[in-house]
Structure 1
Amino acid sequence: MGGSTGRTAPHEARVAAFWDRYTGQARSAPAFLAGHPLVVARAAADVRRLPEVAAPDVRGAGAGAAYLRDVLHRRRHGLSLRTTGAAVLELPGRPGDVLVGSSRATLRRKVRAAERRGLACRPVTDPGEREALLARAHAAEAEHPDPRYRVSAPDNSDLLAFGHWYVTEDADGRALHLAVVPVAGEWAALRYFRTLSWGEAESDARYLASAHLAAALVATGVRHVLDPEPPGTQGPGLRHFQRMVGYRYVRLVAAAQEAASPVRRRVAVGALSLAAAAAGVSLEAEWLLG
């Protein structure tokens, strides 16, 4: 896929630009789509050209499989990862290769900066420490200086069900970043990946956590890391960070396609198609509404 070459294909860049435009406007999803049929049609064509990756097999038991199963079936604002494209990190075969290649130049530079600051990332296995970090994460969300990321009453208690926890600390042992990752077979998902405070050190901590997490997951046999949020709910800053650490947009292809959803979906697709027809184009809207 695109992440393995270090090059971003033009159609992938256009998909990212489309989502930047989509998330930068205040209109509802149906209003935006109906009001921009040509833009949507072009984006749909670009999404169809994204590299295909077989979606994870999530038929097994366990918290990781259950989480991934929920993510693949989830819809937010009508958006589904299987129909919009998903940000996926393709991992190398060896932990030592995580920082190898021209596409990892920014990641290497940021990791070196974090290490010069004395930052370190480590796994967290003690239940008591996990509880304490969860409380710290809740406090950080409630106190976030940016209202876009502030949550008045956060609840991430489900994190305690997952086995892979990683904290990034400064030289004094102060927790700067928390990552919690459900794993199912060769797939992992970024259930929680947030700084616990704000500043330049915390920015570097994100990159160090990305590199450390990738190497640790490779060692356990994971080959793909999925960002569970649909691109239509993510801002440009997050998309930029994803590119810097190696995530690329792909199409998740299921072995067996799901049955068509109810009348509501068909009506929405029909309305968008009519809007596109009025503009003189042919629009296939299923990719966006799911």
Structure 2
Amino acid sequence: MIVLPSLGPLHLTQPRYNAVSLLRQVEHRSPQVVYLASYSPEGLEAKVWRDQQDLALFVLEPWAARRGVGLVALGERAEALQAEAEHFLEYLGSMPRGEEAKRRFTEADRQIVEYLSVPRLPEEYASESFLSGLRERLGAVRELAGEGPATGFREERMAAVAARLAEMDTDAAVVLVDVLDYPVLLERLGAAVGPVPLEPNEAERARAVMDRAWRLEEDDAWGNLLGQLMEIGEAEARFLAAQVYLAAGQAEDAVRLMEEVSRGDFSTPEYLPGYLLARLGQLYDLTGQRDRALRAYRGVLALSWAPAEAREIAAAGLRTPFRPNPEG
């Protein structure tokens, strides 16, 4: 059995284990079915992964549809149980002296995110060194309140998934699991193979460049990044190139490029239409084209789905013309 950890939004921090890297790990096994350990059938049908920013599924789901590969969710009530962790923290904050306990949980979570944001090769996720470090950090959360609402009932959920897998013929199966559930599921399964070394291909390298542009930082070589994005040629890459122009204070160039993208096919990835129209609305406001800005903002809200951030930008833009924050 092959068990692959998914890092959700933290794939952005991993040039060698980004969303395309994970897809290549799946493709390497040529599965007929990919089992999802951290989603319920209802959650998968509702595409809750979109609002959770599970970047791997933005790539995996359309690939599976094209290839006729089944996606089968194994987690019963997964989303409801995971939501208990958020409810627990809200409840904790309302209790006398609860703020201090909440601060300790927040610090434990920060250390987990920091650990998972260290760039790694795919095969490192299957190493005992990585797993022991993750178990240690997850253990810190469990020590604060025990297994249950604080951990999203992780042990309970993964025990149920492992029991279901034990009933199946899974010798050649591919199982995708949230990285926080990963070490727990491995302990329940016994023998399982993790990610393996694969030479990066052009699609993986392109994804790494785009991920870097999503995280655009002050110390990046923006000129080089812009050139790399324009070489990729995909709608998302050109959208991100426009974002680089905007960050550099070149709003006119950003508008020109964003309009070029909007005249083509920008339907994929599924998060791109919302972000592109929201940003285009802001650019029109910046360049004094309020009527066009309003049309772009309304376009975001007319989509069947758009990221929450894009919808918030659009709603704010409809109320008040966008102006950049003077403090950056």
The reply to whether TM is greater than 0.5 is no
Q: Which has the higher helix share?
A: 2
Q: Which has the larger radius of gyration?
A: 2
Question: TM-score, length-normalised on structure 1?
Answer: 0.26
Question: TM-score, length-normalised on structure 2?
Answer: 0.24
Q: Which has the higher strand share?
A: 1
Larger relative CO (CA 8 A, sep 6+): 1 or 2?
Answer: 1
